[in-house]
Structure 1
Amino acid sequence: MDWKTLSTKILNSVYNRLFLTQCYLCDTKSKHPLCQHCRKGFTKNTFSCYHCKHPTDTQNILCGQCQISLPAYQNCIAPYRFEGIVKILIHSIKFNQSSHHIRPLTYLLGEELIKEYSSKPWPEQILYVPSHPSRIKERGFCQTQIMTKQLIKYLQTYTTEKHIKITHPNPIKKIKDTQAQHLLNKKERLKNPKNNYLVDQSIAKHVALFDDVMTTGSTIENCTKLLLNSGAEQVDIWVIARTPDKEH
């Protein structure tokens, strides 16, 4: 008998019973990372631009910015608005090292992705928008990398797409240590990402690019163009939430 394998299975079973059968927010008994009561606190991005998913007041329209200049990516999945509980959890992950909040957020995004790709091909390669090395050193981690790993783990568990895996090392590199995006106004955000990233590997034809939040979309657009110039033919954007305008 392989006692090492047996002990690992027993430990996993105990861990699952103790920690994976309750809501990550309120600790009530739940078969999923979020109970039905807590799920109600997450604001769905129901009314949004059908291309960039920017929150709007009307469903399935093409927003003014997309009418002026359509983003280079072909598909965007952004199921929630960056407000309320979603905003609190993401800020907690980034600035308070509350990594336990990653699982419920990636669980919610994973649900949407499974529905989205139920009738069309999954991307061949999963990438993420990275932090600069100095920011990673300061925080001790890159939150988008950890989120991507957890998201892929969920997708591998609940789909048959076992080929879905994170690309290591990440082909996208942030080469300029810029001021944190949340400290900039809209005009500064639009200028900030230019020439801040590079792609140092060849890219699959169909890729997904993950980021936790999309605000102006300038970082995503910059990275998308780099991926297209490096061999990608289709780029799908995966974000947990999109930031609404202040008036929304």
Structure 2
Amino acid sequence: MCEGCHADLPWLIHSCPRCALPLPRHLSGLCLQCRHELPLFDRVQAAFTYSFPVSELIPVIKYQRQPAHLGWLAAVLGDFILQRHEGQWPDALVPVPMHRFSQINRGYNQAELLAQRLGKQLQIPLNACLHKHRRTPKQMSLSLEDRRHNLQGAFAVRSAVPEHVALVDDVMTTGTTASTLTRLLLERGCKQVDIWVLARTPENH
């Protein structure tokens, strides 16, 4: 990628230090939602805001079966995390799972492909301890409250959980999926859950 294109990407520069919600430059510290109630996960690392061209590329990856874009996107996210990460590295990367029928229909789980590339770049093993055993409607079409109900009982932990993991996904919107999976991991003995995503949506609702 040339320097101009790299610079023109929608980098997430100013955000909530906990959930990575994009914030206006004149605001600092936690966003209003995190001030009201801290999320269960420890920190979100997101390289981009969900805007052009990332907002065009991710649907192409997911719905038009063009996962090749994940190669350079994962490399950019890996470099971003290397520059921003503080403290201990996770023991494992855990991709957000898809229901097996949905994955068969798509041909792959983009979160798993992203985690594989990040794991190779950062030398962190993958752990497929999470399983989605109930198919659910797409979250993007639902309200915040409906998103929470939609995911109830949809996931399970099927193997041992490391003490410190990073959940890997493509986009974080309301954080409902991240919070649901974090709760499951903490209940099974995990001590710290980070969230690593390509992009964060500008609004947390």
The one-character-per-residue Cα deviations of 1:102-146 (angstroms, maximum 9, x if unpaired) are 0111111101121234x5321111101111111111111111111
Cα distance in 2, alignment partners of residues 100 and 132 from structure 1: 22
What is the CA–CA distance in structure 2 between the aligned matches of 1:93 and 1:41, rounded to whole Å? Answer: 20
SS in 1 for 2:166: strand
| Superposed CA RMSD | 1.7
Task: Determine whether 1:52 maps to 2:19.
Answer: yes
Amino acid across the alignment from 2:125: K
Name the % identity: 34
Unaligned stretches of 5+ residues in structure 2? none
Q: Tell me the residue number matched to 2:190.
A: 232
Q: SS at the partner of 2:170?
A: strand
| 1:188 counterpart = 2:146 | yes
| Secondary structure, aligned partner of 2:115 | helix
Aligned residue pair count: 203
In the alignment, the residues of structure 2 paired with residue 104 and residue 146 of structure 1 have an alpha-carbon distance, to the nearest angstrom, of 12
Gaps of 5+ in 1: 1-33, 157-163
The answer to which structure, 1 or 2, has the higher relative contact order (CA under 8 A, 6+ apart) is 2
The residue type equivalent to 2:97 in the other structure is P
Contact 2:17 2:43 in 1 (8 A): no
Residues 180-218 of structure 1: CA distance to partner in whole angstroms, max 9, x if unpaired? 122324443243222211112221111111111000001
Distance of 2:148 and 2:22 partners within structure 1 = 18
> TM-score when scaled to structure 1?
0.77
Match 1:124 to one of 91, 96, 110: 91
Deviation at 1:45, TM superposition (A): 1.4
1:97 equivalenced with 2:65 (yes/no):
yes
The answer as to whether partners of 1:203 and 1:232 remain within 8 angstroms in 2 is yes
Change (3 A) 1:155 1:64: same
| Residue 141 of structure 1, aligned match among 90, 98, 108 | 108
Which of the two has higher C-alpha Rg? 1
TM-score (norm 2): 0.92
